Each structure stands twice: as structure tokens, then as C-alpha cells.
Amino acid sequence: MSWVVVWATPHDENPAVLDDSSWIMVRHRTRGWELPGGKIRHGETIEDAATREFNEETGMSGQLMGINSKLIDGGHVAWIIVPKSANPFSWESPDDSIMEVGWCILPPDDLHWGVEELSKIAIYWSNASTSSS
């Protein structure tokens, strides 16, 4: 079974490198801060899994802009644009395993993933948003 994570950005910002954009992360009870996401269910498309997991963990929905299946080993990265602006306030997740959801402008201290992985994802979607393809 494979998995998907979501790089979610606000509608009023172009995705950019980590120090010049906002994105959503969730604070998992045992793993710390990570991108929203999870396992793809049997018979579910990557796109459906991405939007489902994002909604389950953040309580939000948005427009799926793309999927990349080569950015991270064994998984997929979806880019979703949400119809909200980034702000400094966190909110509760509908998912009991998530302690908090929030907009990031810098990688949090208690980061489950490495900064290099986040940077790679940010750079990819930044370049994809400015390409003509």
C-alpha cells in the first residue's frame, strides 16, 4: 500500500521556496509536525486519497493542482491550493491523532521530516506553478 502527502498553499500566494511562502502542516500526537497525508486505500486514486486525507486531518478542502510520484521514495506528493489566506493562528483537527493544524512560514522545531525534503517539495511546486506546461 502506498501513501500520499499534501503540500497545501493559500490561494493568494504563489508557492515558493521555504523561506518565502506559506504551507499547512499538522502536528501528529507521536510523530510531531508533518505534512497532512496518509495511506491510499484499496481502489482509491492518488487524487482522491490526497483530498480525503487533507480534509480528514485539516478540516479544509481545496483545489488539487497536481501530483508528483517521484519526489519522495515510496509515496506521492499532491499540491492543493486552499481558498483561505495564511494566518498565524492554529486550529483543531477533526482527526484525533492530530493535535494541531497550522500555517508555516518556517519549518517547525518538532519536525518529523527533514528540512531538505520540505525544501525539495517547495522548490518543485514553485517551479511547477511558474512553468507553462
pTM across the whole model: 0.92
Distance CA 107, CA 1 (A): 28
Q: What average pLDDT does the segment 77-90 reach?
A: 96
d(CA 7, CA 37): 9
102: closest CA among 11, 18, 49, 33?
33
pLDDT given at position 74:
86
Residue 118 CB neighbours (<10 A) = 20
User: Percent of the chain beyond pLDDT 90?
Assistant: 71
Confidence check: pLDDT of 132 > 50: no
d(CA 60, CA 41): 20
CATH class for the region spanning 3-130: alpha beta
53 vs 129 pLDDT, higher one: 53
Q: Check residue 110 and give its pLDDT.
A: 87
Return the biggest CA–CA distance within the chain.
Answer: 41
Query: Which helix (H) or strand (E) element contains residue 78?
Result: strand 75-82
The pLDDT mean for the chain works out to 91
- Residue-level pLDDT at 131: 56
pLDDT at 15: 77
CA distance 89 to 81: 18
- pLDDT of residue 67 exceeding 90: yes
pLDDT at 19 over 80: no
Say what the pLDDT of residue 46 is. Answer: 97
C-alpha cell of 91? 486550529
